[in-house]
Amino acid sequence: MSRDEYNTRMEVPMFLYKQLDDPQQILPLATSAFALRPIEQGAADGWLASSVKHGCELYGVYEDDALLAGFMLYDFQMRLRSCVVPMGGIGLLCSRLDARGKGAVRFMIQNSLDTMMQKGQVVCVLDPFDETFYRHYGWEKFSRCQIIEISPNLLKVPERLGAGITATDLPFPDEASMSFYNQYAAEHYTLAQRTQREWESRTQILSWSTDTAARGVVKFFRNECVAGLMGYDLTRKDGEDRPTFHANLLACEDEAVFQEMLRYLRQLSHQVATLRICLPLDRELWPYLSDRPAKSTIRDLFMIRIVSLDLLDGLRMDAPDMSLGVDVVDEQAPWNHGVWDLTITSGVLRVQRGQRADLRCGIGALSSVVSGFSSFAQLIASRHIESLDTYQGQDLPKTVTFLADYF
């Protein structure tokens, strides 16, 4: 489909899509959509103003003078395979209660993809309220984590070997800590880079977070250099005598630093009742436990969607040389619709328009495979991807995906 044909299709007379210039415009929608109580609305107002001040953008769809739906667009840099690429994060997607079924949200999502493409954002990530809803628009499962709840006394860590590692609790990461984290994020999982803006968002405590007493980081120092960083929340609910320590980020150079993080957590036994540790799926904690945890769960986190196949061209990845034709179905972003040749040579993905397809799939399935969360073989077996006669088993290796931010 040509750009002119796309623009014609997007011109729905009853709706107007545009950037919102005042955060107050979306607050009534958010209040009803997320059932914000009066005590929470003031904090939401402040959070919206702060988010816009720090670079987030608000967009919405109008019918005449009435705002029917809106969302917040974040601008991230996220590791995808072996590259750090621009990623659009969608949050606060909401609509009027009486706007359901009018097509305003569909119109907004279609336009949001065009907005992200114009910004050069390669993929879009969101934390879904309903996976089925977003799967209909081209997003697919992308990230999981393991959450382990234990008493600090359950941790059994070997004695220290070699040079000591020191730990310092900080309410906000210093420059050395932020630099360490961004280098780590560029080399591990699907982590996003964090600037001062992201750290401020991550460490602030909003008034509706009535259980949260503190947020911060613990810096681990070795040989005069940062060797690890732990992000945490400290919470206590009404009626509880002792708090829970949530370790939501454990970035470390090696196993020795990871062990030092566990020693630090064990030493909290006199202050906290429970440790709640969030880890990527490939990080094993059981060798350091004396007994089974009180609770251990696998949690689905984010969904991902390719914004523009053209923008994937040049992506570096650890994958064997291969060539594959894919007939992509994408009703929301027609610039992706059609047959594409995906070729990997010396670890570089080349993407261009093609003529012959070996596979046929929706953009969501392809997004999950490109991210490393799934594989062509897995999704062919589950009938999410159709294998055509010319397919010869080409595939991309799976990787461990993990995104530690939220929005």
Concatenated DSSP letters of 216-259: EEEEEEETTEEEEEEEEEEE--TT-SS-EEEEEEEEESSHHHHH
Q: Do 135 and 154 share a structural domain?
A: no
Across the range 233-244, mean pLDDT stands at 92
pLDDT recorded at residue 101: 83
Q: Do 130 and 150 share a structural domain?
A: no
DSSP 8-state code for residue 191: P
Total domains in the chain come to: 3
Residue 392 lies in a domain: no
Q: Do 162 and 179 share a structural domain?
A: yes
Long-range CB pairs of 47-53 (<8 Å, 24+ gap) are 47/206, 48/23, 48/24, 49/23, 50/201, 50/204, 51/23, 51/201, 52/23
pLDDT recorded at residue 2: 45
Q: Do 101 and 76 share a structural domain?
A: yes
> Which CA distances in Å does 127 have to 93, 177, 286, 300, 392?
10, 27, 28, 9, 35
- Give the domain CATH number at 20: 3.40.630.30
Across the range 168-191, mean pLDDT stands at 98
3-state secondary structure at position 99: helix
> Model confidence at 9, in pLDDT bands (50, 70, 90)?
very low
Q: Do 318 and 296 share a structural domain?
A: no
Residue 393 lies in a domain: no
User: Which pTM does this prediction carry?
Assistant: 0.92
Contact (Cβ atoms closer than 8 angstroms) between residue 31 and residue 97: no
Q: Where a domain ends, among 258, 277, 300?
A: 300
Concatenated DSSP letters of 284-317: --GGGBSS--SEEEEEE--EEEES-SGGGTT-B-
Residue 407 lies in a domain: no
Q: Do 119 and 70 share a structural domain?
A: yes
Q: Do 111 and 27 share a structural domain?
A: yes
Concatenated DSSP letters of 147-176: EEEE-GGGB--PPP-SS--EEEEESS--HH
Q: Where a domain ends, among 269, 300, 331?
A: 300
Residue 394 lies in a domain: no
pLDDT recorded at residue 5: 47
Q: Do 149 and 280 share a structural domain?
A: yes
Q: Do 178 and 226 share a structural domain?
A: yes
Across the range 223-240, mean pLDDT stands at 94
Q: Do 265 and 183 share a structural domain?
A: yes
pLDDT recorded at residue 7: 46
For 331-357, the pLDDT digits (tens) are: 999 999 999 999 999 999 999 999 999
Asked if residue 4 has pLDDT above 70, the reply is no
Q: Where a domain ends, among 300, 328, 350?
A: 300
For 99-156, the pLDDT digits (tens) are: 888 899 999 999 999 999 999 999 999 999 999 999 999 999 999 999 999 999 999 9
More confident residue, 399 or 9: 399
Q: What is the mean pLDDT of the chain?
A: 93
Residue 73 lies in a domain: yes
Lowest mean pLDDT among 156-160, 173-177, 396-400: 156-160
Across the range 5-30, mean pLDDT stands at 77
Residue 401 lies in a domain: no
Q: Do 185 and 121 share a structural domain?
A: no
- Give the domain CATH number at 381: 3.30.1050.10
Residue 203 lies in a domain: yes
pLDDT recorded at residue 350: 98
Across the range 243-251, mean pLDDT stands at 97
Asked if residue 12 has pLDDT above 80, the reply is no
Asked if residue 162 has pLDDT above 70, the reply is no
Residue 19 belongs to domain spanning: 3-141
Residue 404 lies in a domain: no
Q: Do 77 and 201 share a structural domain?
A: no
